[in-house]
Amino acid sequence: MQYVGFTLRNNLFVAPMAGVTDRPFRMLCKRMGAGLAVSEMVTSNSLLYGSAKTRRRADHAGEPGPIAVQIAGADPAMLAEAARYNAERGAQIIDINMGCPAKKICNVMAGSALMQDEALVARILDAVVCSVPDTPVTLKIRTGWNRSNKNAVAIARIAEDCGVRALAIHGRTRADQYMGEAEYDSIAEVVRQVGIPVIANGDIHSPEKARYVLDHTGADGLMIGRAAQGRPWIFREIEHFLSTGEHLPAPPVSEIHQICRVHLADIHAFYGVETGVKIARKHIGWYTRGLAGSSAFRRAMNQLGDPDAQGAAIDEFFGRLAEAGGSFDRAMNETTETLRELAA
């Protein structure tokens, strides 16, 4: 896929998710078939550039390009400064967050709250695009502020006029948060109204749903977020299905064990022992959810305080699954069938 001047493996994108899409997760998803992974939000507040948390969010060392960094804020000048700061440090694509529905973001008129003020949106986009003339700028939005005020088309037109090169749209309003089901009619209308690439996002959790969303919206690509948590191989599953119309077999327990172990090692190395152990817990929970004995396993896992203990517990858990004769594969297949039914 050709995207804002770069050649990507495919049209499947990893959604930027706060606390999730760190460098280990982005690199894992790319290995598993994602064409592009966008970083979690980096604040536009220059006072925070020096914090360890912000430095980690902007750390792309060793990551295959193109490097896409998402910035968030409400002040045009500060966002322009943040864009320059990240471009000077290797960002090849600057993405602006106008889609986050979190209260702490919207309460300072950032994220999806910005969609209420189209004039401010225009000032922000113009300032950022002008600040990094050699770096493509993209935008992430929702369908609107609430269901009575859906203005994705208006925002998309503003973005195109300001020189934004591509747009990702989550099929919910800010008021919807992540409740209910995503709708794709609004995304389809944006596709009809603008000439820049549009990436559809929201509730894409199976190969069939991916096919449906592409066909329904006419979007240029798909952005996948929560469905990849604990299931990063969803990208290769969708890639294969879109290319062939056939399903890949569920990954064997031995491969999932290896993926989990490598991911945990990357997390521990990236964050250090204390923080790494805490970050790893949620990923372990996602890898094991829905499997026999996983609730008790997670409770015990949350009491472990060092990487070696976490690794040993993972080895034991997946070892028991392997001894049970492929129960992991059966669970994965049952989950996949459920998702197919929901997508039908």
Beta-carbon contacts of residue 327 (< 8 Å; ≥ 6 apart): 291, 292, 321
Of 29, 100, 106, 162, the active-site residue reads 100
CB atoms inside a 10 Å sphere around CB 187: 28
Query: 138: part of which helix (H) or strand (E)?
Result: strand 137-142
**Closest Cα to residue 14, out of 198, 235, 178?**
235
Annotated active-site residue 162? The verdict is no
Transcribe 33-98 into DSSP letters: T-SEEBPPPEE--GGGTTSHHHHHHT--TT--S--EEEEE-S-HHHHHHHHHHHHHTT-SEEEEEE
Which residues lie across from 146 on neighbouring strands? Answer: 149
Whole-number Å distance between alpha carbons of 99 and 141: 4
CA pair distance 182, 168, nearest whole angstrom: 14
Residues belonging to the active site: 100
